[in-house]
Amino acid sequence: MAELGAGSLPLGDPAFNYQEHELNERLKRLYPAVNEEETPLPRSWSPKDKYSYIGLSQNNLRVHYKGHGKNHKDAASVRATHPIPAACGIYYFEVKIVSKGRDGYMGIGLSAQGVNMNRLPGWDKHSYGYHGDDGHSFCSSGTGQPYGPTFTTGDVIGCCVNLINNTCFYTKNGISLGVAFTDLPPNLYPTVGLQTPGEIVDANFGQQPFVFDIEDYMSEWRAKIHGMIARFPIGERLGEWQAVLQNMVSSYLVHHGYCATATAFARATETLIQEDQTSIKNRQRIQKLVLAGRVGEAIEATQQLYPGLLEHNPNLLFMLKCRQFVEMVNGTDSEVRCLSIRSPKSQDSYPGSPSLSPRHGASNTHLHAGGADSPTCSNGVTPPNKSKSHGGTGVGGIKYPSGSSSASSSTSSSPSSVNYSESNSSDSTKSQPHSANSTQETSDSEMEIEAEHYTNGVVEGSSARIMNGTYKHEEILQPDDNSIGNGVTADESCSNGRQLCGGNQAATERMIQFGRELQTLNEQLCHEYGKNATHKKMLQDAFSLLAYSDPWNCPVGQQLDPTQRETLCSALNSAILESQNLPKQPPLMLALGQATECVQLMARVRSGSCSFARVDNFLH
């Protein structure tokens, strides 16, 4: 148990919590390459690794001498709680002399684990110290060398360990005193030693801003490392490397569905695109639906374009279904959104209503729909002021467990190879009278995900949606649905009145029904594949949203954050690519991940310069 003396702050004290926060932030800024779960940074002196003549207080940051102080045999030292991690690259701490005591026989420095604590730092092997009474430096020897000025009450002495070149220098009141030691071994601990009564020192491991500008010194070394990397000789292989990098960039653009950008890049660099544009756009549209919170439509589109994919990926299917339930709570999924924008009186007047859909009847082992002439709103509900859907593009059926339905209705059967990117040119053109470009050009520009932003399920800067496998325009937000973001009306939004399923009773009932179907699906998967703890946790978290009057501000409310869609979007995109015999991850990301991990590994095993060679710094 840590010694707590006068002036110590209790753990629950707000001031202590603030100091801890400041310490954490400063250490992260100074040592970004350090993973403290693996290699903790020194934060205080160790009450277990000290000589008996040493007393600790002030949260183990203040050290005072409590021995006799007659001669050098009464010297006493204390080490920090942890050694300096190699991944620091450069490490720094400061010690303030609160009182020099009787003689000022104080030593500040470093020592390895196991070095005798009944000595001042620097007197023994693998021990290094700068002493205040004579200003000498001691390097694993009882004989010191002239180094710097003496120090006394009020002075602040800093110790900097450079793990790049294995040297150490000290500072006094913010001024560097030059290199004191070279060829330092690894795994050294910050150490202080005292020898006469009245000597008191305070340590600063980052709890307060340092007197010396250590960040400027680190910046100098960071610039040196970056310059060394920039000057690395490439030689005759420049052309070969450029070709490899161009192919990697091209595949990255294709992977994320940046169709127009990928085409322009391929044209400029004379590289080949492995995937045709139609396939890229299909994947892109599915991603847009997921990122907009319209997961039911994304499932429907995936079933149509990639039949069998979700059947062969039950884990992915379950993730999508759970996310769809969450989006129903949010009010963004079309299963409830189409209900929430209609008046209750009109709900039974639409033959495509989810509650009347054939998939809820006895023959629900396959997906069904109303056909080409059946008015539908993406999955079975007609939006107000809309006539027939575009064409009759079909959705291939997918078997579900008894009692479980699909994420959204499908239309009448047709070949599953239908081109999902084909739009009704005349209708698309009519819906955008302001555009002088061709339908194809409009489609290309609208498909660029990087030009759009998603907020609470609404695509900003775009007015396009997918309906029964056909791309329609100006239907994501209708002027008459008076809705925003997550299905909440504008008036409700202004008063922060977010409601479950947009506050619509029919939508809430549909959500509850969907929850039952989701539970049935989970039971079926357990029966076929065995119990799955991940599925259980996913389902519990999703259903837990209903236990709170305000799901958006509850312990599990983070599920409703739109950013939670990104992981699922990436997983679905990778599964689609893998089903087409394309890399599930772009080679560029794999290369960057490997380089990042390699640099971190090298930093952990005493290649200090790697701490200042973060891959992220070279991506701008």
Q: Are 158 and 170 in contact (CB under 8 A)?
A: yes
The reported pLDDT for the residue numbered 183 is 94
Give the H or E element holding residue 146: strand 145-146
Residue 171 has pLDDT above 80, yes or no: yes
**Looking at this protein, which amino acid is placed at residue 482?**
N
- Give the span between the Cα atoms of 483 and 383, in whole angstroms: 13
pLDDT (tens digit per residue) in 424-438:
333 333 333 333 333
Over residues 477-501, the pLDDT tens digits come to 233 333 333 343 333 333 345 777 7
Give the span between the Cα atoms of 113 and 452, in whole angstroms.
Answer: 56
> 19-33, 105-119, 370-384, 510-524: which range is least confident on average?
370-384
pLDDT for the residue 11:
53
What are the pLDDT digits (tens) for 77-107? 999 999 999 989 999 999 999 999 999 999 9
Q: How confident is the model at residue 9 (pLDDT cuts 50, 70, 90)?
A: low
Mean pLDDT of 328-350: 62
The whole-angstrom distance between residue 5's C-alpha and the CA centroid of its chain comes to 40
pLDDT at 8: 53
Q: Which amino acid is at 149?
A: P
Residue 227, pLDDT > 90, answer no
Mean pLDDT on 8-15:
60
Confidence tier at 334 by pLDDT (50, 70, 90): confident
Say what the pLDDT of residue 192 is. 98
**Tokens read off for 418:** 């239908």
Question: d(Cα 127, Cα 597) in Å, to the nearest integer?
Answer: 33
DSSP string of 191-251, one letter each residue: EEEE-STTEEEEEESSSS--SS-HHHHHHHHHHHHHHHHHT---GGGHHHHHHHHHHHHHH
Q: What pTM does this model have? A: 0.56
Written as six digits, the tokens of 136 are 């000498």
Question: pLDDT of 362-384, one tens digit each?
Answer: 333 333 333 333 333 433 333 33
CA 533, CA 514: separation in Å to the nearest integer?
A: 21
The tokens describing 147, both together, are 């180094």
pLDDT in tens, 516-566: 999 999 999 998 888 889 999 999 999 999 999 889 999 999 999 999 999
**CA distances from residue 278 to 111, 262, 281, 411 in whole angstroms, order as listed:** 65, 13, 5, 21
What is the C-alpha separation between 8 and 1, in angstroms, rounded?
14
The two structure tokens encoding residue 2: 């840590």
**Top-confidence residue, 515 or 474:** 515
In tens, the pLDDT along 306-321 reads: 999 999 999 999 999 9
User: Mind listing the pLDDT tens digit for each residue in 433-462?
Assistant: 333 333 343 344 344 443 333 333 333 333
Q: What is the largest CA-CA distance in the chain?
A: 103
Predicted confidence band of residue 333 (pLDDT cuts 50, 70, 90): confident
In sequence order, what DSSP letters do the residues of 482-513 get, joined into one string? -EETTTEEHHHHHTT---GGGG-HHHHHHHHH
Identify each DSSP E strand in 59-149 by its residue range: 62-65, 76-80, 90-100, 107-112, 127-131, 136-139, 145-146
C-alpha–C-alpha distance, residues 145 and 559, integer Å? 63
Closest C-alpha to 387, from 475, 487, 497, 259: 475
The pLDDT > 70 percentage for the chain reads: 70
Tell me the pLDDT band of 140, cut-offs 50, 70 and 90. Answer: very high
Contact residues for 528 (Cβ-Cβ < 8 A; gap 6+): 314
Encoding tokens for residue 111?
A: 């020592």
Residue partners of 317: CB distance under 8 A and separation at least 6? 299, 310, 311
End-to-end CA distance of the chain: 47
Amino acid 278: pLDDT: 87
Q: What is the pairing mode between strands 483-484 and 90-100?
A: unpaired
At 276 the pLDDT is 82
The residue among 381 and 269 whose pLDDT is bigger is 269
- Please say whether the beta carbons of 95 and 205 come within 8 A: no
Q: Are 23 and 56 in contact (CB under 8 A)?
A: no
Q: C-alpha distances in angstroms, 571 versus 164, 256, 289, 302, 545?
A: 40, 12, 14, 13, 23
Dihedrals φ, ψ of 310, to 5°? -75, -30
Neighbours of 38 (CB within 10 A): 9
CA pair distance 455, 63, nearest whole angstrom: 54
- Average pLDDT over all residues of the chain: 75
Cα separation, 611 vs 161, in Å, equals 14
Higher pLDDT, 14 or 221: 221
- C-alpha distances out from residue 508 to 298, 328, 420, 502, Å: 21, 8, 31, 9
What is the predicted pLDDT for the residue at 606?
64
Conformational region of residue 188, where left means phi above 0, alpha means psi within -120 to 50, and beta covers everything else: beta
What span, in angstroms and rounded, lies between the C-alpha atoms of 444 and 455?
Answer: 22
Q: Hey, which residues does 191 pair with through a beta bridge?
A: 79, 109
Residues 189, 80 contacting (CB under 8 angstroms)? yes
In 3D space, the residue among 273, 268, 269 whose CA is nearest the CA of residue 253 turns out to be: 273
In the predicted structure, residue 120 carries a pLDDT above the cut 90: yes
> Which of 7-16, 298-307, 343-352 shows the lowest per-residue confidence on average (mean pLDDT)?
343-352
Beta bridge partners of 145: 137
* Span 599-605, average pLDDT: 74
Mean pLDDT value across residues 6-26: 72
Q: Residue 237's pLDDT band (boundaries 50, 70, 90)?
A: low
How long is the chain?
620
Please state the separation of Cα 317 from the chain's center in Å: 23
Whole-number Å distance between alpha carbons of 131 and 571: 59
Closest-CA residue to 155 (of 197, 189, 200): 200
